[in-house]
Homo-oligomer: A and B are copies of this chain.
């Protein structure tokens, strides 16, 4: 008999069906044995009665996470037993026969038990099977796809940015080294920056969603050694505000996809739909610092960057006073940005660059880039980089590049903040940090 998905059972009341999945819970009431079965589409309550002897006997043995194929009859529940608003609350399967596809060992803890983060990560193949684990990564899949759809709607073309690179793009972040062939050294990409600029020369508007790797030694709730970056870059811009406009639309498209497709999940996570105004508020860094000084009394007007507490303050301020969960901060000092960032001719010393803050953290960084070859070479020298090492990248500028810009969003941070998770590691399927690659490395 063909398998029926659990979410479709309501169309099969009074019929005999086969369902397949994992045993979520078994409740043994002696004569009546209740089994909640879980497949990718949801859960259903099944009941094994003594009159179906073989099935009842097997039902006594199954335990959580056993995988079974069950043939049974779909019965409507009596009115007083109906659970309103719950998938299959109006029905129950009377078990006729059970086939065990796979047994499971006893679980180290109740699957839904609250465990500390390290235990959660030690047992990911199991803990991801909770509704919570499934839901986080369903939302993440929707974010990625909404990003791609939004970009394609704006004529951006996807490209595949490499993981192995010959040098470090950013000239700042810690980079992983790889012994390559013939005693050469390769590096793991810290960003697709150079490649997306090269691709602006080819397709004009591009996006890519590669992994980025950073050999940063700190283990915090917002850092990872490997993450997914949602990147775009495009040519023929007026300035960084064109990039901000495109990005704002992309973020709106993502918010709308996630809230449309996953309203129930958002309810369970008890997170509010992001406040999205018609235009995201924009402040220069110095304006933001003046505001912080005025509102909190803390004078940070000489700082070259925002600290985590500043980002949190600005997000709270924006939410309360500007009706937005998102706020752009622009014009960071040239010295705090990479060598390829465009300096604002009308505000010397500051860049046509921006960060987008969301619920207390920076989720996106971007801006206009330098497109003039000689200016880039000059900056490389100022940044103590050897232009000869960048000769491949520099070809792009040698052979004609339009004014262009782009931005990069951390997928895991966006997922974390969207769902209100305590650590970015919960928003990362298989987080890598200084102490862990799947297993703890100290083991």
- Chain A residues packing against B (C-beta within 8 Å): 3, 20, 22-23, 39-40, 65-67, 69, 101-105, 107, 123-126, 128-129, 133-134, 137-138, 140-141, 144-145, 148, 152, 155, 157-166, 176-182, 184, 186, 188, 195, 198-199, 201-205, 210-211, 213, 215, 217, 225-226, 228, 236, 371-373, 391-393, 395-403, 411, 429-430, 432, 434-435, 437-439, 441
Contact = CB atoms under 8 A, between A and B. Distances in A.
Given A20-B402, A155-B40, A430-B195, A441 B180 contact: yes
B400 A104 contact: yes
Nearest to A183: B441
B399 A107 contact: yes
Contact of A138 (B66, B140, B157, B411): B157
A435 B134 CA distance: 43
| Copies of this chain in its oligomeric complex | 2
A166 B439 contact: yes
Contact of A398 (B105, B145, B225): B105
Contacts of A125: 198, 201, 392-393, 395-396, 399
Contacts of A65: 399-400
Nearest to A225: B164
Contacts of A236: 3, 20, 69, 101
A392 B213 contact: no
Contacts of A104: 398-400
A398 to B, nearest CB: 5
Contacts of A213: 163-164
Given A155-B40, A236-B20, A437 B165 contact: yes
Given A162-B226, A181-B435, 4 more contacts: A134-B203, A160-B429, A164-B432, A176-B180
